[in-house]
Chains A and B, each alone.
Chain A
Amino acid sequence: MGFRKKIFTAGLLLAAAILPLFFRNSRYTLNLLNLAGIFIILTYSLNFMHGYLGLISIGQAGFFAIGAYMTAGLTMAVGLPYLPSLFLAGIASTLAGLLIGFPAARIRGHYFVLISLGFAEIVRLIILNWKEVTNGTNGVNNIPAPAVGPWVFDSRFSHYYLVLFFVLLTSLVTLSLRRSKYGRSMLCLKVGELAATVTGVDPMRNKLVNFGLSAFFAGLAGGLYASYIGSISPEPFSVNLSVDVLTMLLVGGSGTIAGPAIGAIFLVFLKEWLRFMKEYYMILYGAGIVLVMILMPDGLVGLGHRIADRIQSPSD
Protein backbone atom coordinates (compact mmCIF):
# COMPACT_ATOMS: atom_id res chain seq x y z
CA MET A 1 0.00 0.00 0.00
CA GLY A 2 1.43 3.37 -0.99
CA PHE A 3 1.88 6.16 1.50
CA ARG A 4 -0.91 8.29 0.06
CA LYS A 5 -3.26 5.35 0.14
CA LYS A 6 -2.37 4.72 3.79
CA ILE A 7 -3.11 8.31 4.70
CA PHE A 8 -6.38 8.14 2.81
CA THR A 9 -7.44 4.93 4.55
CA ALA A 10 -6.54 6.33 7.97
CA GLY A 11 -8.53 9.47 7.22
CA LEU A 12 -11.51 7.41 6.11
CA LEU A 13 -11.39 5.31 9.29
CA LEU A 14 -11.17 8.44 11.43
CA ALA A 15 -14.11 9.97 9.57
CA ALA A 16 -16.18 6.80 10.08
CA ALA A 17 -15.30 6.83 13.78
CA ILE A 18 -16.24 10.45 14.47
CA LEU A 19 -19.15 10.70 12.02
CA PRO A 20 -21.91 9.80 14.53
CA LEU A 21 -20.62 12.40 16.99
CA PHE A 22 -22.10 15.07 14.70
CA PHE A 23 -25.51 13.39 14.75
CA ARG A 24 -25.75 12.50 18.45
CA ASN A 25 -29.11 14.23 18.68
CA SER A 26 -30.51 13.01 15.40
CA ARG A 27 -31.92 9.56 15.98
CA TYR A 28 -33.10 9.63 12.37
CA THR A 29 -29.61 10.04 10.91
CA LEU A 30 -28.11 7.53 13.35
CA ASN A 31 -30.71 5.01 12.21
CA LEU A 32 -29.71 5.51 8.59
CA LEU A 33 -26.04 5.13 9.46
CA ASN A 34 -26.71 1.84 11.26
CA LEU A 35 -28.81 0.52 8.38
CA ALA A 36 -26.19 1.62 5.87
CA GLY A 37 -23.55 -0.29 7.85
CA ILE A 38 -25.64 -3.46 7.92
CA PHE A 39 -26.30 -3.15 4.19
CA ILE A 40 -22.59 -2.61 3.53
CA ILE A 41 -21.86 -6.00 5.12
CA LEU A 42 -24.68 -7.60 3.13
CA THR A 43 -23.43 -6.03 -0.09
CA TYR A 44 -19.89 -7.23 0.60
CA SER A 45 -21.33 -10.71 1.09
CA LEU A 46 -22.78 -10.61 -2.42
CA ASN A 47 -19.54 -9.16 -3.71
CA PHE A 48 -17.86 -12.47 -2.89
CA MET A 49 -20.13 -14.26 -5.36
CA HIS A 50 -20.40 -11.61 -8.04
CA GLY A 51 -17.09 -9.83 -7.66
CA TYR A 52 -14.98 -12.98 -7.42
CA LEU A 53 -16.96 -15.54 -9.41
CA GLY A 54 -19.18 -13.39 -11.59
CA LEU A 55 -22.31 -15.13 -10.33
CA ILE A 56 -25.55 -13.20 -9.92
CA SER A 57 -27.46 -14.23 -6.81
CA ILE A 58 -30.96 -13.07 -5.93
CA GLY A 59 -30.79 -15.07 -2.74
CA GLN A 60 -28.91 -13.03 -0.17
CA ALA A 61 -32.18 -12.39 1.68
CA GLY A 62 -32.28 -16.10 2.52
CA PHE A 63 -28.92 -16.05 4.33
CA PHE A 64 -29.78 -12.71 5.92
CA ALA A 65 -33.02 -14.19 7.27
CA ILE A 66 -31.28 -17.30 8.62
CA GLY A 67 -28.77 -15.10 10.43
CA ALA A 68 -31.49 -12.88 11.87
CA TYR A 69 -33.72 -15.70 13.12
CA MET A 70 -30.82 -17.78 14.44
CA THR A 71 -29.41 -14.82 16.39
CA ALA A 72 -32.82 -14.08 17.86
CA GLY A 73 -33.39 -17.74 18.72
CA LEU A 74 -29.98 -18.33 20.23
CA THR A 75 -30.04 -15.23 22.43
CA MET A 76 -33.68 -15.55 23.49
CA ALA A 77 -34.62 -19.25 23.54
CA VAL A 78 -31.19 -20.76 24.25
CA GLY A 79 -29.90 -17.84 26.30
CA LEU A 80 -26.44 -17.66 24.75
CA PRO A 81 -24.46 -14.43 24.99
CA TYR A 82 -24.57 -12.15 21.97
CA LEU A 83 -21.26 -12.74 20.23
CA PRO A 84 -21.41 -16.56 20.29
CA SER A 85 -25.00 -16.35 19.03
CA LEU A 86 -23.99 -14.07 16.21
CA PHE A 87 -21.09 -16.31 15.31
CA LEU A 88 -23.21 -19.47 15.39
CA ALA A 89 -25.85 -17.72 13.30
CA GLY A 90 -23.15 -17.00 10.75
CA ILE A 91 -22.12 -20.65 10.85
CA ALA A 92 -25.72 -21.79 10.37
CA SER A 93 -25.98 -19.51 7.38
CA THR A 94 -22.68 -20.89 6.07
CA LEU A 95 -24.03 -24.44 6.32
CA ALA A 96 -27.08 -23.38 4.33
CA GLY A 97 -24.71 -21.79 1.82
CA LEU A 98 -22.73 -25.01 1.46
CA LEU A 99 -25.90 -27.08 1.21
CA ILE A 100 -27.20 -25.03 -1.68
CA GLY A 101 -23.63 -24.61 -2.94
CA PHE A 102 -23.19 -28.26 -3.91
CA PRO A 103 -25.82 -28.15 -6.63
CA ALA A 104 -25.25 -24.46 -7.37
CA ALA A 105 -21.51 -24.85 -7.98
CA ARG A 106 -22.22 -26.92 -11.06
CA ILE A 107 -24.40 -24.41 -12.79
CA ARG A 108 -23.94 -20.96 -14.21
CA GLY A 109 -25.67 -18.04 -15.78
CA HIS A 110 -29.39 -17.74 -15.47
CA TYR A 111 -29.75 -21.06 -13.74
CA PHE A 112 -27.66 -19.82 -10.85
CA VAL A 113 -29.92 -16.78 -10.54
CA LEU A 114 -32.91 -19.11 -10.41
CA ILE A 115 -31.46 -21.53 -7.87
CA SER A 116 -30.49 -18.67 -5.54
CA LEU A 117 -33.94 -17.20 -5.91
CA GLY A 118 -35.55 -20.57 -5.21
CA PHE A 119 -33.43 -21.02 -2.11
CA ALA A 120 -34.35 -17.61 -0.66
CA GLU A 121 -38.04 -18.21 -1.35
CA ILE A 122 -37.89 -21.57 0.44
CA VAL A 123 -36.31 -19.92 3.48
CA ARG A 124 -38.93 -17.17 3.48
CA LEU A 125 -41.83 -19.59 3.14
CA ILE A 126 -40.51 -21.79 5.95
CA ILE A 127 -40.15 -18.77 8.23
CA LEU A 128 -43.64 -17.68 7.28
CA ASN A 129 -45.28 -21.06 7.88
CA TRP A 130 -43.32 -22.78 10.64
CA LYS A 131 -45.31 -20.91 13.26
CA GLU A 132 -44.22 -23.08 16.24
CA VAL A 133 -40.65 -21.88 15.85
CA THR A 134 -40.74 -18.55 14.07
CA ASN A 135 -44.13 -17.28 15.23
CA GLY A 136 -45.25 -16.83 11.61
CA THR A 137 -46.30 -13.39 10.41
CA ASN A 138 -46.26 -11.99 13.96
CA GLY A 139 -42.53 -12.55 14.06
CA VAL A 140 -40.17 -12.39 16.99
CA ASN A 141 -40.33 -9.35 19.22
CA ASN A 142 -38.29 -7.88 22.08
CA ILE A 143 -34.98 -9.23 20.87
CA PRO A 144 -32.44 -8.05 23.48
CA ALA A 145 -29.89 -5.40 22.56
CA PRO A 146 -26.41 -6.77 21.87
CA ALA A 147 -24.25 -7.04 24.98
CA VAL A 148 -20.53 -7.83 24.87
CA GLY A 149 -19.07 -8.25 28.35
CA PRO A 150 -19.88 -5.09 30.30
CA TRP A 151 -20.93 -3.09 27.24
CA VAL A 152 -24.53 -2.96 26.09
CA PHE A 153 -25.15 -1.54 22.65
CA ASP A 154 -28.67 -0.39 23.39
CA SER A 155 -28.64 3.02 21.73
CA ARG A 156 -28.44 3.83 18.05
CA PHE A 157 -25.26 5.74 18.81
CA SER A 158 -23.43 2.85 20.50
CA HIS A 159 -24.80 0.28 18.08
CA TYR A 160 -23.18 2.18 15.23
CA TYR A 161 -19.76 1.24 16.58
CA LEU A 162 -20.70 -2.42 16.82
CA VAL A 163 -21.79 -2.32 13.17
CA LEU A 164 -18.66 -0.39 12.21
CA PHE A 165 -16.50 -3.11 13.75
CA PHE A 166 -18.14 -5.78 11.61
CA VAL A 167 -18.02 -3.59 8.49
CA LEU A 168 -14.26 -3.31 8.97
CA LEU A 169 -13.97 -7.05 9.59
CA THR A 170 -15.87 -7.80 6.39
CA SER A 171 -13.81 -5.43 4.29
CA LEU A 172 -10.58 -6.84 5.77
CA VAL A 173 -11.64 -10.38 4.84
CA THR A 174 -12.52 -9.16 1.35
CA LEU A 175 -9.12 -7.49 1.02
CA SER A 176 -7.16 -10.46 2.28
CA LEU A 177 -9.13 -12.86 0.09
CA ARG A 178 -8.00 -10.87 -2.91
CA ARG A 179 -4.39 -11.46 -1.91
CA SER A 180 -4.79 -15.13 -1.05
CA LYS A 181 -4.47 -18.19 -3.24
CA TYR A 182 -8.23 -18.71 -2.98
CA GLY A 183 -9.05 -15.23 -4.17
CA ARG A 184 -6.76 -15.49 -7.16
CA SER A 185 -8.17 -18.92 -8.01
CA MET A 186 -11.69 -17.52 -7.87
CA LEU A 187 -10.84 -14.59 -10.13
CA CYS A 188 -9.31 -17.15 -12.46
CA LEU A 189 -12.55 -19.14 -12.45
CA LYS A 190 -14.49 -15.97 -13.17
CA VAL A 191 -12.55 -15.34 -16.36
CA GLY A 192 -12.68 -18.89 -17.67
CA GLU A 193 -13.64 -21.99 -15.78
CA LEU A 194 -12.10 -24.43 -18.21
CA ALA A 195 -8.79 -22.58 -18.40
CA ALA A 196 -8.69 -22.28 -14.60
CA THR A 197 -9.33 -25.99 -14.18
CA VAL A 198 -6.53 -26.83 -16.58
CA THR A 199 -4.08 -24.76 -14.53
CA GLY A 200 -4.97 -26.73 -11.42
CA VAL A 201 -7.76 -24.69 -9.84
CA ASP A 202 -10.40 -26.89 -8.23
CA PRO A 203 -13.70 -25.23 -9.18
CA MET A 204 -15.86 -27.05 -6.64
CA ARG A 205 -13.64 -26.30 -3.66
CA ASN A 206 -13.13 -22.66 -4.54
CA LYS A 207 -16.80 -22.11 -5.19
CA LEU A 208 -17.77 -23.72 -1.90
CA VAL A 209 -15.28 -21.55 0.00
CA ASN A 210 -16.75 -18.57 -1.79
CA PHE A 211 -20.38 -19.48 -1.07
CA GLY A 212 -19.49 -20.24 2.55
CA LEU A 213 -17.89 -16.82 3.03
CA SER A 214 -20.76 -15.08 1.27
CA ALA A 215 -23.35 -16.87 3.39
CA PHE A 216 -21.42 -16.27 6.61
CA PHE A 217 -21.29 -12.51 6.21
CA ALA A 218 -24.87 -12.28 4.98
CA GLY A 219 -25.91 -14.22 8.10
CA LEU A 220 -23.80 -11.93 10.25
CA ALA A 221 -25.53 -8.90 8.75
CA GLY A 222 -28.87 -10.56 9.50
CA GLY A 223 -27.89 -11.10 13.13
CA LEU A 224 -26.88 -7.46 13.49
CA TYR A 225 -30.15 -6.42 11.88
CA ALA A 226 -32.26 -8.53 14.25
CA SER A 227 -30.63 -7.21 17.41
CA TYR A 228 -30.62 -3.66 16.09
CA ILE A 229 -34.27 -3.48 15.06
CA GLY A 230 -35.36 -5.57 18.06
CA SER A 231 -38.13 -7.41 16.22
CA ILE A 232 -38.22 -9.44 13.04
CA SER A 233 -40.99 -10.79 10.83
CA PRO A 234 -40.89 -12.59 7.47
CA GLU A 235 -41.90 -9.48 5.54
CA PRO A 236 -38.55 -7.72 5.04
CA PHE A 237 -36.79 -10.91 3.89
CA SER A 238 -38.44 -11.01 0.47
CA VAL A 239 -37.03 -11.07 -3.05
CA ASN A 240 -37.10 -7.28 -2.90
CA LEU A 241 -34.33 -7.31 -0.30
CA SER A 242 -32.12 -9.55 -2.44
CA VAL A 243 -32.77 -7.28 -5.40
CA ASP A 244 -31.87 -4.22 -3.33
CA VAL A 245 -28.55 -5.77 -2.35
CA LEU A 246 -27.75 -6.69 -5.94
CA THR A 247 -28.58 -3.14 -6.97
CA MET A 248 -26.34 -1.70 -4.26
CA LEU A 249 -23.46 -3.86 -5.45
CA LEU A 250 -23.82 -2.95 -9.12
CA VAL A 251 -24.51 0.72 -8.51
CA GLY A 252 -21.44 0.92 -6.30
CA GLY A 253 -19.20 -1.23 -8.45
CA SER A 254 -18.77 -4.97 -8.20
CA GLY A 255 -15.38 -6.56 -7.58
CA THR A 256 -13.91 -3.49 -5.93
CA ILE A 257 -13.22 -2.71 -2.28
CA ALA A 258 -14.94 0.67 -2.22
CA GLY A 259 -17.84 -0.25 -4.52
CA PRO A 260 -20.05 -2.28 -2.16
CA ALA A 261 -19.71 0.32 0.60
CA ILE A 262 -20.40 3.26 -1.69
CA GLY A 263 -23.37 1.52 -3.30
CA ALA A 264 -24.95 0.56 0.02
CA ILE A 265 -24.55 4.03 1.54
CA PHE A 266 -25.75 5.73 -1.63
CA LEU A 267 -28.90 3.68 -2.00
CA VAL A 268 -29.87 3.65 1.69
CA PHE A 269 -29.74 7.45 1.72
CA LEU A 270 -31.24 7.84 -1.77
CA LYS A 271 -34.26 5.78 -0.76
CA GLU A 272 -34.75 8.05 2.26
CA TRP A 273 -34.39 11.23 0.25
CA LEU A 274 -36.88 10.03 -2.33
CA ARG A 275 -39.38 9.10 0.36
CA PHE A 276 -41.08 12.50 0.22
CA MET A 277 -42.37 11.50 -3.21
CA LYS A 278 -44.70 9.03 -1.42
CA GLU A 279 -45.93 6.28 -3.73
CA TYR A 280 -43.86 7.58 -6.63
CA TYR A 281 -40.50 7.08 -5.00
CA MET A 282 -40.18 3.41 -5.84
CA ILE A 283 -41.06 4.24 -9.45
CA LEU A 284 -38.16 6.68 -9.55
CA TYR A 285 -35.97 4.13 -7.81
CA GLY A 286 -36.68 1.57 -10.54
CA ALA A 287 -36.06 4.13 -13.26
CA GLY A 288 -32.85 5.10 -11.48
CA ILE A 289 -31.56 1.52 -11.64
CA VAL A 290 -32.18 1.39 -15.39
CA LEU A 291 -30.42 4.73 -15.88
CA VAL A 292 -27.42 3.63 -13.84
CA MET A 293 -27.11 0.49 -15.95
CA ILE A 294 -27.25 2.52 -19.16
CA LEU A 295 -24.98 5.37 -18.11
CA MET A 296 -22.46 3.77 -15.76
CA PRO A 297 -22.22 0.02 -16.20
CA ASP A 298 -19.22 -0.19 -13.85
CA GLY A 299 -21.04 1.60 -11.06
CA LEU A 300 -20.12 4.73 -9.17
CA VAL A 301 -16.56 3.48 -8.67
CA GLY A 302 -16.14 3.00 -12.42
CA LEU A 303 -17.57 6.46 -12.98
CA GLY A 304 -15.08 7.87 -10.47
CA HIS A 305 -12.21 6.21 -12.32
CA ARG A 306 -13.40 7.58 -15.63
CA ILE A 307 -13.61 11.10 -14.21
CA ALA A 308 -10.14 10.74 -12.65
CA ASP A 309 -8.72 9.59 -15.98
CA ARG A 310 -10.35 12.51 -17.73
CA ILE A 311 -8.77 14.96 -15.29
CA GLN A 312 -5.32 13.43 -15.57
CA SER A 313 -5.30 13.32 -19.35
CA PRO A 314 -7.62 16.08 -20.54
CA SER A 315 -6.45 15.69 -24.13
CA ASP A 316 -8.57 12.55 -24.65
Chain B
Amino acid sequence: MMQELISGLAMGSIYALVSFGFVLVYNAVGAGNFAHGEWVMFGGYFGLIATSWLHLPLWVALLFSLVAMAGLGVVYNRVAYYPMRHRPAATVIIASIGMSILLRNSALALFGPDPLKLESFLGERTFTIGGAVIGQHHVLIIAVTLVLFSGVSLLFGRTSIGRKLQATAQDQEAARLMGINVNRMITLTFALSAMLASVAGFLLGPVWFLDPDVGLMVILKAFIVIVIGGFGSIRGMMAGGLFLGVVEVMVASHLTSEYRDVVSFLILIAVLVVLPRGFFGEKIAQKV
Protein backbone atom coordinates (compact mmCIF):
# COMPACT_ATOMS: atom_id res chain seq x y z
CA MET B 1 0.00 0.00 0.00
CA MET B 2 2.70 2.44 1.09
CA GLN B 3 4.75 1.41 -1.91
CA GLU B 4 1.86 2.05 -4.28
CA LEU B 5 1.10 5.37 -2.65
CA ILE B 6 4.67 6.61 -3.07
CA SER B 7 4.92 5.51 -6.67
CA GLY B 8 1.51 7.08 -7.35
CA LEU B 9 2.62 10.33 -5.78
CA ALA B 10 5.85 10.21 -7.81
CA MET B 11 3.97 9.70 -11.07
CA GLY B 12 1.53 12.41 -10.09
CA SER B 13 4.38 14.81 -9.34
CA ILE B 14 5.68 14.39 -12.87
CA TYR B 15 2.18 14.96 -14.26
CA ALA B 16 1.93 18.12 -12.16
CA LEU B 17 5.33 19.34 -13.33
CA VAL B 18 4.41 18.78 -16.99
CA SER B 19 1.09 20.58 -16.46
CA PHE B 20 2.87 23.48 -14.79
CA GLY B 21 5.11 24.03 -17.80
CA PHE B 22 2.13 23.84 -20.13
CA VAL B 23 0.02 26.26 -18.11
CA LEU B 24 2.84 28.85 -17.84
CA VAL B 25 2.85 29.26 -21.61
CA TYR B 26 -0.92 28.97 -21.85
CA ASN B 27 -1.48 31.80 -19.41
CA ALA B 28 1.15 33.99 -21.05
CA VAL B 29 -0.02 33.67 -24.66
CA GLY B 30 -3.60 32.39 -24.39
CA ALA B 31 -2.95 29.30 -26.45
CA GLY B 32 -1.82 25.85 -25.48
CA ASN B 33 1.57 24.55 -26.54
CA PHE B 34 0.70 21.05 -27.67
CA ALA B 35 4.38 20.27 -28.19
CA HIS B 36 5.07 20.54 -24.46
CA GLY B 37 5.10 16.75 -24.10
CA GLU B 38 7.80 16.58 -26.76
CA TRP B 39 9.73 19.23 -24.83
CA VAL B 40 9.69 16.95 -21.81
CA MET B 41 10.89 14.11 -24.01
CA PHE B 42 13.73 16.24 -25.40
CA GLY B 43 14.65 17.34 -21.89
CA GLY B 44 15.37 13.70 -21.19
CA TYR B 45 17.03 13.05 -24.53
CA PHE B 46 19.41 16.00 -24.05
CA GLY B 47 20.43 14.33 -20.81
CA LEU B 48 21.03 11.13 -22.72
CA ILE B 49 23.13 12.93 -25.34
CA ALA B 50 25.30 14.35 -22.56
CA THR B 51 25.73 11.10 -20.64
CA SER B 52 25.97 8.41 -23.28
CA TRP B 53 27.28 10.33 -26.30
CA LEU B 54 29.54 12.87 -24.57
CA HIS B 55 30.22 10.79 -21.43
CA LEU B 56 29.59 13.69 -19.10
CA PRO B 57 28.60 13.20 -15.46
CA LEU B 58 24.90 13.34 -14.69
CA TRP B 59 25.03 16.76 -12.97
CA VAL B 60 26.67 18.31 -15.99
CA ALA B 61 24.12 16.54 -18.17
CA LEU B 62 21.30 18.19 -16.25
CA LEU B 63 22.95 21.56 -16.71
CA PHE B 64 23.44 20.81 -20.41
CA SER B 65 19.80 19.83 -20.78
CA LEU B 66 18.57 22.95 -18.95
CA VAL B 67 20.62 25.23 -21.16
CA ALA B 68 19.71 23.37 -24.34
CA MET B 69 16.03 23.38 -23.46
CA ALA B 70 16.05 27.08 -22.59
CA GLY B 71 17.55 27.63 -26.04
CA LEU B 72 14.92 25.42 -27.60
CA GLY B 73 12.20 27.39 -25.82
CA VAL B 74 13.54 30.69 -27.16
CA VAL B 75 13.85 29.34 -30.71
CA TYR B 76 10.43 27.75 -30.47
CA ASN B 77 8.88 31.06 -29.48
CA ARG B 78 10.60 32.76 -32.40
CA VAL B 79 9.46 30.15 -34.94
CA ALA B 80 6.12 28.81 -33.80
CA TYR B 81 4.57 31.55 -31.72
CA TYR B 82 5.97 35.01 -32.49
CA PRO B 83 4.99 35.13 -36.20
CA MET B 84 1.43 34.21 -35.25
CA ARG B 85 1.01 36.27 -32.09
CA HIS B 86 -1.80 38.37 -33.55
CA ARG B 87 -3.71 35.43 -35.01
CA PRO B 88 -6.51 33.37 -33.43
CA ALA B 89 -5.51 30.82 -30.80
CA ALA B 90 -6.46 27.98 -33.19
CA THR B 91 -3.61 28.95 -35.52
CA VAL B 92 -1.09 28.85 -32.70
CA ILE B 93 -2.45 25.50 -31.50
CA ILE B 94 -2.15 23.92 -34.94
CA ALA B 95 1.37 25.28 -35.32
CA SER B 96 2.28 23.72 -31.98
CA ILE B 97 0.81 20.42 -33.15
CA GLY B 98 3.03 20.73 -36.22
CA MET B 99 6.02 21.33 -33.96
CA SER B 100 5.13 18.28 -31.87
CA ILE B 101 5.10 16.11 -35.02
CA LEU B 102 8.43 17.63 -36.04
CA LEU B 103 10.05 17.08 -32.64
CA ARG B 104 8.67 13.56 -32.16
CA ASN B 105 9.95 12.42 -35.52
CA SER B 106 13.29 14.16 -35.04
CA ALA B 107 13.64 12.08 -31.88
CA LEU B 108 12.73 8.97 -33.85
CA ALA B 109 15.38 9.74 -36.47
CA LEU B 110 18.04 10.57 -33.85
CA PHE B 111 17.42 7.97 -31.17
CA GLY B 112 15.34 5.23 -32.80
CA PRO B 113 12.07 3.74 -31.59
CA ASP B 114 13.43 1.71 -28.65
CA PRO B 115 12.94 2.93 -25.08
CA LEU B 116 16.21 4.25 -23.65
CA LYS B 117 16.94 4.60 -19.97
CA LEU B 118 18.32 7.73 -18.42
CA GLU B 119 20.37 7.30 -15.24
CA SER B 120 18.99 8.52 -11.95
CA PHE B 121 20.93 10.64 -9.48
CA LEU B 122 20.18 8.01 -6.86
CA GLY B 123 20.62 4.93 -9.01
CA GLU B 124 18.43 1.94 -8.22
CA ARG B 125 18.75 2.40 -4.45
CA THR B 126 15.76 1.62 -2.28
CA PHE B 127 14.90 1.82 1.38
CA THR B 128 12.36 0.02 3.50
CA ILE B 129 9.65 1.47 5.71
CA GLY B 130 7.48 -1.01 7.58
CA GLY B 131 8.04 -3.75 5.02
CA ALA B 132 7.41 -1.52 2.00
CA VAL B 133 10.29 -1.22 -0.45
CA ILE B 134 10.49 2.31 -1.75
CA GLY B 135 12.65 3.51 -4.62
CA GLN B 136 14.70 6.51 -3.64
CA HIS B 137 14.22 7.98 -7.08
CA HIS B 138 10.48 8.16 -6.41
CA VAL B 139 11.10 10.22 -3.31
CA LEU B 140 13.49 12.41 -5.29
CA ILE B 141 10.77 13.05 -7.88
CA ILE B 142 8.30 14.20 -5.23
CA ALA B 143 10.88 16.36 -3.45
CA VAL B 144 12.16 18.06 -6.61
CA THR B 145 8.62 18.77 -7.78
CA LEU B 146 7.64 20.34 -4.46
CA VAL B 147 10.77 22.48 -4.46
CA LEU B 148 10.20 23.61 -8.04
CA PHE B 149 6.56 24.43 -7.42
CA SER B 150 7.35 26.57 -4.41
CA GLY B 151 10.39 28.04 -6.14
CA VAL B 152 8.47 29.17 -9.18
CA SER B 153 5.59 30.46 -7.02
CA LEU B 154 8.11 32.56 -5.10
CA LEU B 155 9.62 33.78 -8.36
CA PHE B 156 6.21 34.92 -9.53
CA GLY B 157 5.03 36.39 -6.24
CA ARG B 158 8.15 37.93 -4.77
CA THR B 159 10.49 39.11 -7.50
CA SER B 160 10.19 42.02 -9.86
CA ILE B 161 10.78 39.88 -12.94
CA GLY B 162 8.12 37.45 -11.69
CA ARG B 163 5.61 40.26 -11.30
CA LYS B 164 6.40 41.44 -14.80
CA LEU B 165 5.80 37.91 -16.08
CA GLN B 166 2.50 37.79 -14.23
CA ALA B 167 1.43 41.17 -15.50
CA THR B 168 2.14 40.03 -19.05
CA ALA B 169 0.05 36.92 -18.54
CA GLN B 170 -2.85 38.91 -17.11
CA ASP B 171 -3.11 41.67 -19.67
CA GLN B 172 -0.51 42.22 -22.36
CA GLU B 173 -1.80 45.65 -23.33
CA ALA B 174 -1.77 46.97 -19.79
CA ALA B 175 1.66 45.44 -19.18
CA ARG B 176 2.99 47.22 -22.27
CA LEU B 177 1.60 50.51 -20.99
CA MET B 178 3.47 49.94 -17.73
CA GLY B 179 6.69 49.85 -19.72
CA ILE B 180 7.14 46.10 -19.62
CA ASN B 181 8.80 44.58 -22.64
CA VAL B 182 6.04 42.09 -23.37
CA ASN B 183 7.84 40.16 -26.10
CA ARG B 184 10.84 39.66 -23.86
CA MET B 185 8.62 38.44 -21.02
CA ILE B 186 6.94 35.95 -23.34
CA THR B 187 10.29 34.69 -24.57
CA LEU B 188 11.32 34.28 -20.96
CA THR B 189 8.13 32.36 -20.20
CA PHE B 190 8.83 29.96 -23.05
CA ALA B 191 12.37 29.44 -21.75
CA LEU B 192 11.13 28.88 -18.19
CA SER B 193 8.50 26.41 -19.36
CA ALA B 194 11.13 24.55 -21.40
CA MET B 195 13.42 24.35 -18.38
CA LEU B 196 10.63 22.86 -16.30
CA ALA B 197 10.15 20.37 -19.13
CA SER B 198 13.85 19.58 -18.96
CA VAL B 199 13.63 18.69 -15.27
CA ALA B 200 10.46 16.67 -15.88
CA GLY B 201 12.29 14.72 -18.59
CA PHE B 202 15.17 14.04 -16.19
CA LEU B 203 12.84 12.78 -13.50
CA LEU B 204 10.81 10.71 -15.94
CA GLY B 205 13.71 9.11 -17.84
CA PRO B 206 14.79 6.62 -15.16
CA VAL B 207 11.23 5.46 -14.37
CA TRP B 208 9.42 5.25 -17.70
CA PHE B 209 12.39 5.40 -20.06
CA LEU B 210 12.48 7.65 -23.11
CA ASP B 211 10.98 6.85 -26.46
CA PRO B 212 9.51 9.07 -29.19
CA ASP B 213 5.95 8.53 -27.91
CA VAL B 214 6.56 9.34 -24.25
CA GLY B 215 5.82 13.02 -24.86
CA LEU B 216 2.35 12.28 -26.15
CA MET B 217 1.68 10.04 -23.17
CA VAL B 218 2.65 12.62 -20.55
CA ILE B 219 0.89 15.52 -22.22
CA LEU B 220 -2.37 13.57 -22.34
CA LYS B 221 -2.07 12.97 -18.61
CA ALA B 222 -1.14 16.60 -18.03
CA PHE B 223 -4.36 17.66 -19.76
CA ILE B 224 -6.37 15.61 -17.30
CA VAL B 225 -4.47 17.22 -14.43
CA ILE B 226 -5.10 20.70 -15.80
CA VAL B 227 -8.81 20.01 -16.09
CA ILE B 228 -8.93 18.70 -12.53
CA GLY B 229 -6.84 21.52 -11.13
CA GLY B 230 -7.95 24.37 -13.35
CA PHE B 231 -5.76 26.51 -15.58
CA GLY B 232 -5.32 29.21 -13.01
CA SER B 233 -4.18 27.56 -9.85
CA ILE B 234 -0.71 26.33 -8.93
CA ARG B 235 -2.04 24.54 -5.83
CA GLY B 236 -4.80 23.01 -7.96
CA MET B 237 -2.29 21.59 -10.41
CA MET B 238 -0.16 20.04 -7.70
CA ALA B 239 -3.24 18.52 -6.04
CA GLY B 240 -4.66 17.38 -9.38
CA GLY B 241 -1.38 15.76 -10.38
CA LEU B 242 -0.98 13.87 -7.11
CA PHE B 243 -4.64 12.81 -7.20
CA LEU B 244 -4.36 11.44 -10.74
CA GLY B 245 -1.07 9.66 -10.03
CA VAL B 246 -2.44 7.91 -6.96
CA VAL B 247 -5.74 7.03 -8.64
CA GLU B 248 -3.89 5.53 -11.60
CA VAL B 249 -1.69 3.34 -9.45
CA MET B 250 -4.63 2.22 -7.33
CA VAL B 251 -6.82 1.48 -10.35
CA ALA B 252 -4.01 -0.42 -12.05
CA SER B 253 -3.19 -2.62 -9.07
CA HIS B 254 -6.65 -3.20 -7.61
CA LEU B 255 -9.15 -2.80 -10.43
CA THR B 256 -7.91 -3.11 -13.98
CA SER B 257 -4.54 -2.44 -15.52
CA GLU B 258 -5.82 -2.57 -19.10
CA TYR B 259 -8.47 0.07 -18.60
CA ARG B 260 -6.37 2.29 -16.33
CA ASP B 261 -6.16 5.08 -18.90
CA VAL B 262 -9.86 4.74 -19.73
CA VAL B 263 -10.59 5.51 -16.08
CA SER B 264 -8.28 8.54 -16.25
CA PHE B 265 -10.02 9.94 -19.32
CA LEU B 266 -13.42 9.25 -17.78
CA ILE B 267 -12.28 11.33 -14.82
CA LEU B 268 -11.43 14.10 -17.29
CA ILE B 269 -14.91 14.00 -18.81
CA ALA B 270 -16.64 13.61 -15.44
CA VAL B 271 -14.85 16.65 -14.03
CA LEU B 272 -15.81 18.70 -17.08
CA VAL B 273 -19.43 17.66 -16.62
CA VAL B 274 -19.79 17.86 -12.86
CA LEU B 275 -17.29 20.49 -11.84
CA PRO B 276 -16.81 22.74 -14.82
CA ARG B 277 -14.62 25.01 -12.72
CA GLY B 278 -12.15 22.28 -11.88
CA PHE B 279 -11.57 21.81 -8.15
CA PHE B 280 -9.73 25.09 -7.86
CA GLY B 281 -9.85 26.90 -11.16
CA GLU B 282 -11.89 29.31 -13.17
CA LYS B 283 -15.19 28.82 -14.93
CA ILE B 284 -14.58 26.72 -17.99
CA ALA B 285 -17.50 27.83 -20.12
CA GLN B 286 -16.27 31.39 -20.15
CA LYS B 287 -12.72 30.64 -21.10
CA VAL B 288 -12.65 31.04 -24.85
Binding site for B on A (CB under 8 A): 50, 54, 56, 100, 103, 106-111, 113-115, 117-119, 121-122, 125-126, 129, 239, 243, 246-247, 250, 279-280, 282-283, 285-290, 292-294, 297
Contact = CB atoms under 8 A, between A and B. Distances in A.
Interface stretch (B84-92, B140-148, B164-172, B247-255): B84-92
Give the interface centre of B100, B109, B265 by most chain A CB atoms within 10 Å.
B265
8 contacts: A109-B288, A119-B269, A121-B220, A243-B97, A250-B90, A285-B105, A286-B105, A297-B87
B220 A117 contact: yes
Contacts of A293: 84, 87, 91-92, 94-95, 98
From DSSP, what is the main secondary structure of chain A's interface residues? helix
Nearest to B106: A283
Give the interface centre of A106, A115, A285, A292 by most chain B CB atoms within 10 Å.
A115
A274 to B, nearest CB: 11
B208 interface: no
Interface string B264-288: 0110110011001000000011011
A243 B95 CA distance: 11
Given A114-B268, A279-B109, A290-B79, A297 B91 contact: yes
A111 B101 contact: no
Nearest to B266: A122
B227 interface: yes
B94 to A, nearest CB: 5
The 6 nearest A-B residue pairs measured at CB: A289-B98, A286-B102, A286-B101, A282-B105, A118-B265, A290-B98
A103 B269 contact: yes
B227 A294 contact: no
B84 A294 contact: yes
Contacts of A111: 227, 272, 284, 287
Interface string B105-147: 1101100000000000000000000000000000000000000
A89 B283 CA distance: 36
A137 B44 CA distance: 29
Nearest to A281: B105
A292 B98 CA distance: 10
Given A243-B101, A286-B105, A289-B98, A109 B89 contact: yes
Contacts of B98: 247, 286-290, 292-293
B35 to A, nearest CB: 9
Nearest to A56: B90
A281 to B, nearest CB: 8
Nearest to B286: A108
